[in-house]
Structure 1
């Protein structure tokens, strides 16, 4: 019973200290709060502030879901009112940082004694903190121990307090308290500068010692891999129409994910609550040498070319930093995505990819929508060689192979130098999708077939080539459309970067990264709702897609991927108005075409950054 009470108390503290974060000024490196924390703590949760954070979170919720905000605020107020809140009413520094720690992962099958956890809270006065935390009767039990801590009976359980000047440590056992009294290794000396910065600068964050996770749960992780392999194999046997190459590729991806977990040393997860939206990120450090670092060690982050230079109106915008070594490292993945090539076909594809790497890719930008349409502009040291490599690549393609997520019905039709446009010599490629085979591999019958045809189209055309400086790749239904897209890019007309929503999302992503992706949520939601409605209608359900295509460029979700030796990070930005945009697109499907539209987003409250 006591154990349950302590875990419950820890959960309440965690909800107060973690669930309501607020950004404060970064802590100077010379005064790192991480020096307070034992280096071997496998789990650390950090938060900046409590009271002010509640207001900050409420502002974000009000901007994101104005119609639901009052109810959410009421629930937050109820959760915030507790005996523990009263205990933490004095002596706490408003800006934090505050920490919740697990000193070891508990074994649920052999759990005895108080949980090995602690709180490390930033304070203004140790005396004031104790005066607020302890009741009058509990204060009478307070006594000092020569080991370096104070003890008191809190709700009839012995609790340990350590005065660390600007911080107080609360522990539930003598063993845990003793971990904070010595001069052992501390977390500030273990984490990289980047991991420490992310952990401390965020509104709320968590650090996980992945080496400890692998040591504790490594056997279970391996069992999960074996289970998934068997499940995929059984699924393939039950669905003989499924593409074996896709199943094998899925296996490789899952094994790669588990390998990444096994190679990981640390994980940092962060979230920042802005009035304009939510920023959250993950950062993983991996061991070197390791299979995962084989790819990371040839990766790099840089100031990416601006995808906002591409024409507006597309669903996805991407910028990427490349090197020949990165391209070579990706070859096995690319080969797998193209299907089960064998013999001479496989050799020809590998030759084409080698030629592409020799062309010296350095990065580029691209945009696309569904059905497939968009512009790609890539930088190569030798763009003419890149054109030849692309030609050789396409010549290898055969019926039933995958391209851009679709299955080919016949070999691509290639017309060399089909068009010349403002210095670019462009080869035309026509592809036809085998929708019947694609449907056979998916559930849903005729309804799914019609939905997929609407989303993918029946095929696509590509024009690619170079002017001797850039390599361009344009997807469109006809040459007139392709010419317009390429012309707008070359003239800088009607670009995505001219949209305030695009620039707002871009500025919330890291200045340097390996790749960045911006997604127009209005267009994506419209496509998704149309697909869902078609499938639902085919199954006899009442569902209606949005009546008209939404205005492009109202909101963008952003993702930046940063890969460096021994380090991988993902940074997301989700604008507050994304919620209302997605609700507007999906509500007709989810409510069968009925129900009111969600209310428009209210003007955003600023309330600081």
Structure 2
């Protein structure tokens, strides 16, 4: 009983925050009005609570006002999907209103927080139990909420009309019929309820470290704005999971070691990537973010705070930011648009293993890195200096893209590309059969272009994958046999055979036999163009240089871009409608199912979502925005396709 009563309070806000997928803020006027409405004596209710709540529960979820947040959510639903809002909107509002009233919140304008503890995997069993056919969750969390009727709220949670709580060390204990207990305390302006006595003690007594002291003013601002907020103490989580993190590292090292003999280039990429991820994670202090629902769309903003001595962030901040105007000039018709700033000096070359280790683990890559051509490429790349890259990429049947790079030394960048190709040519990489470069292959509008072509060997690649799969199967079977489990891996996979010839054919349909890129410069800018032939490449170049049909001319791009910071370190814009159609195109190529097409009612106009990142000396600030126009694309396009595929799978299974 307690669990089913407390869970809506402790879990619903977590789920709501999870559903608020990164989209950006920028509706500053709306959010400022919300913030001013919640101010009491210069501080919102939640802001005052922070000074009395413990800081050693590393995850805090906030709802600025349960009824107001719900109304804003329904308003957004009506704009995105009128049918869905009609079906569920009133029901959601009525349910939340009744729920908040049961907590003694009057008309339901109550703010609420959930403070969540983080436990190790060994302790998960204490939080999750299977009772009969029901999964019971008992999170280590404290629910904190505004109430005008503390006893009434406690009675509602406990399911007891004649409540007789036990007084114990400044807090109340309520025992229900099955012997379970809840612990609660009334403080100035709020009540706190939990199923864990040690947690209620943290709230009852004055904590040595409180959230108000731990959070900086900037992080409080991110946390307290909008309809929902979340604060995560990443440093505490890193400490709690240090052993598990090391186990993951060890597992990844083992997997890379097993992979290096068959596929050294992939193994090296994986090793470098996970080393960078772990180093960044270890230097993360905390994150605060908020989400807002409005008729215009869904917005999220926040900041990731890093350790003071994490040099890569400081270096990026020192380099400044950019308005990313060049991105808007790129041709329409692609699914993905991205602006990034890159300085070769900030690349963490120390992440690359030592020469001896490379030579032992990745001999082919070692040959590349030890070649004079690579040394030359490295020097030329650094000489190119700070680069501002604006790129677009089309998927599926429109496999094309263009990248505009503004470097401090454009000719040095061209030289670096040429040297890199020469360093890789002739190496024994399974997927690439041949790599060629034709310098000064084309000239157009003041640009001189090299032609770089990679030809693929899918037969060799799939054979290698097949051998790796067989090796993995043998390892799994050996473990099964060692544990005396009566199971044969070949029999288990018998209904899922892998046809290598079909795999080769699918790769050829999706990727093509080769990839061709034209890279050129006019001495100032560098263009890199992905296209099947020069005519297609020239068409993209002309569209970009004309500067009258760029993606920035569309209403959706302008709307989303206006919600994001004026100057950025990175900016990503995705055309959901175009991306959906192009992904279906890729699936058609892979499966040869011609009916995988967008329904006729799918909107055809450009429908962007966006996210921006700004580098600051102490961390990364981010904003993103998903306009309400995305709703019809999901409702009329994506959902029907998924439903149709599920129905086909169900019919095939009968």
TM-score range normalised by the length of the shorter chain: 0.7 to 0.9
- The CA distance in 2 between the partners of 1:194 and 1:441, in whole Å, is 52
Closer, same or farther in 2 for the Cα pair 1:53/1:451, shift >3 Å? Answer: same
Spell out, residue by residue over 1:256-300, the C-alpha distance to the aligned partner (whole angstroms, 9 max, x if none).
4344434433243543333343334674333354xxx34333223
In the TM superposition, residue 319 of structure 1 has moved relative to its aligned partner by 0.8
- Which residue in 1 is equivalent to 2:8? 12
- Which residue in 1 is equivalent to 2:60? 44
- Which residue in 1 is equivalent to 2:343? 323
Closer, same or farther in 2 for the Cα pair 1:486/1:191, shift >3 Å? Answer: same
Aligned-partner SS, 2:413: helix
- Which residue in 2 is equivalent to 1:465? 520
- The CA distance in 1 between the partners of 2:440 and 2:583, in whole Å, is 36
In the TM superposition, residue 317 of structure 1 has moved relative to its aligned partner by 1.0
In the TM superposition, what are the counterparts of 1:252-401 in structure 2 within 5 Å?
252-268=272-288, 270-280=290-300, 283-289=303-309, 293-300=310-317, 302-306=321-325, 307-327=327-347, 332=352, 340-342=365-367, 346-370=371-395, 372-399=399-426
In the TM superposition, residue 410 of structure 1 has moved relative to its aligned partner by 1.5
Spell out, residue by residue over 1:432-482, the C-alpha distance to the aligned partner (whole angstroms, 9 max, x if none).
343444554666644444443343333343333333332222333333333
- The CA distance in 2 between the partners of 1:39 and 1:365, in whole Å, is 42
Closer, same or farther in 2 for the Cα pair 1:557/1:487, shift >3 Å? Answer: same
Closer, same or farther in 2 for the Cα pair 1:109/1:15, shift >3 Å? Answer: closer
In the TM superposition, residue 499 of structure 1 has moved relative to its aligned partner by 0.8
- The CA distance in 2 between the partners of 1:368 and 1:111, in whole Å, is 45
In the TM superposition, residue 496 of structure 1 has moved relative to its aligned partner by 0.2
The question of whether the paired residues in 1 share the 8 Å contact of 2:66 and 2:96 is answered with: no
In the TM superposition, residue 592 of structure 1 has moved relative to its aligned partner by 5.3
2:546 to 488, 491, 499: 491
- Which residue in 1 is equivalent to 2:116? 102
Closer, same or farther in 2 for the Cα pair 1:119/1:464, shift >3 Å? Answer: same
- Which residue in 2 is equivalent to 1:87? 102
Closer, same or farther in 2 for the Cα pair 1:391/1:256, shift >3 Å? Answer: closer
- The CA distance in 2 between the partners of 1:571 and 1:346, in whole Å, is 42
The question of whether the paired residues in 1 share the 8 Å contact of 2:52 and 2:207 is answered with: no
The question of whether the paired residues in 2 share the 8 Å contact of 1:496 and 1:553 is answered with: no
2:229 to 187, 192, 205: 205
In the TM superposition, residue 515 of structure 1 has moved relative to its aligned partner by 1.1
In the TM superposition, residue 223 of structure 1 has moved relative to its aligned partner by 2.1
The question of whether the paired residues in 1 share the 8 Å contact of 2:338 and 2:570 is answered with: yes
Pairing 1:55–2:80 present: no
Closer, same or farther in 2 for the Cα pair 1:521/1:243, shift >3 Å? Answer: farther
Closer, same or farther in 2 for the Cα pair 1:105/1:87, shift >3 Å? Answer: farther
Q: TM-score, normalised by structure 1?
A: 0.77
The question of whether the paired residues in 1 share the 8 Å contact of 2:581 and 2:598 is answered with: no
- Which residue in 1 is equivalent to 2:447? 424
Q: Determine which structure has greater relative contact order: mean sequence separation of CA pairs < 8 Å that are 6+ residues apart, divided by chain length.
A: 2
Pairing 1:526–2:581 present: yes
In the TM superposition, what are the counterparts of 1:87-236 in structure 2 within 5 Å?
87-91=102-106, 94=109, 97-102=111-116, 105=119, 107-108=123-124, 117-122=141-146, 126=148, 128=149, 151=172, 153=174, 159-164=183-188, 166-170=189-193, 173=197, 176-177=200-201, 179-182=203-206, 184-231=208-255, 236=259
- The CA distance in 1 between the partners of 2:124 and 2:638, in whole Å, is 44
Aligned-partner SS, 2:529: strand
- Name the stretch that deviates more: 566-575 or 359-368: 566-575
Closer, same or farther in 2 for the Cα pair 1:111/1:223, shift >3 Å? Answer: same
Aligned-partner SS, 1:250: helix
2:35 to 25, 42, 46: 25
Aligned-partner SS, 2:548: coil
Q: TM-score, normalised by structure 2?
A: 0.73
Closer, same or farther in 2 for the Cα pair 1:486/1:70, shift >3 Å? Answer: same
In the TM superposition, what are the counterparts of 1:432-471 in structure 2 within 5 Å?
432-440=455-463, 445-471=500-526
The question of whether the paired residues in 2 share the 8 Å contact of 1:205 and 1:269 is answered with: yes
Closer, same or farther in 2 for the Cα pair 1:339/1:359, shift >3 Å? Answer: same
Aligned-partner SS, 1:318: strand
Spell out, residue by residue over 1:391-435, the C-alpha distance to the aligned partner (whole angstroms, 9 max, x if none).
222332325688xxx9533122313263141x3333333443434
User: Which stretches in structure 1 are left out of the alignment for 5+ residues?
Assistant: 596-609
- The CA distance in 2 between the partners of 1:374 and 1:116, in whole Å, is 49
- Which residue in 1 is equivalent to 2:562? 507
In the TM superposition, residue 492 of structure 1 has moved relative to its aligned partner by 1.2
The question of whether the paired residues in 2 share the 8 Å contact of 1:363 and 1:378 is answered with: yes
The question of whether the paired residues in 2 share the 8 Å contact of 1:401 and 1:407 is answered with: no
The question of whether the paired residues in 2 share the 8 Å contact of 1:142 and 1:150 is answered with: no
In the TM superposition, what are the counterparts of 1:71-86 in structure 2 within 5 Å?
71-73=87-89, 76=92, 80=96, 84-86=99-101
Aligned-partner SS, 2:373: helix
What's the C-alpha RMSD, in Å, of the aligned pairs? 4.4
Aligned-partner SS, 2:208: coil
- The CA distance in 2 between the partners of 1:435 and 1:500, in whole Å, is 42
- Which residue in 2 is equivalent to 1:584? 637
- The CA distance in 2 between the partners of 1:76 and 1:278, in whole Å, is 18
The question of whether the paired residues in 1 share the 8 Å contact of 2:155 and 2:163 is answered with: no
The question of whether the paired residues in 2 share the 8 Å contact of 1:88 and 1:133 is answered with: yes
- The CA distance in 2 between the partners of 1:134 and 1:14, in whole Å, is 17
- Name the stretch that deviates more: 207-216 or 129-138: 129-138
Closer, same or farther in 2 for the Cα pair 1:279/1:383, shift >3 Å? Answer: same
Closer, same or farther in 2 for the Cα pair 1:463/1:158, shift >3 Å? Answer: closer
Closer, same or farther in 2 for the Cα pair 1:353/1:233, shift >3 Å? Answer: closer
Residues matched between the structures, number: 566
The question of whether the paired residues in 1 share the 8 Å contact of 2:100 and 2:106 is answered with: no
- The CA distance in 2 between the partners of 1:338 and 1:484, in whole Å, is 41
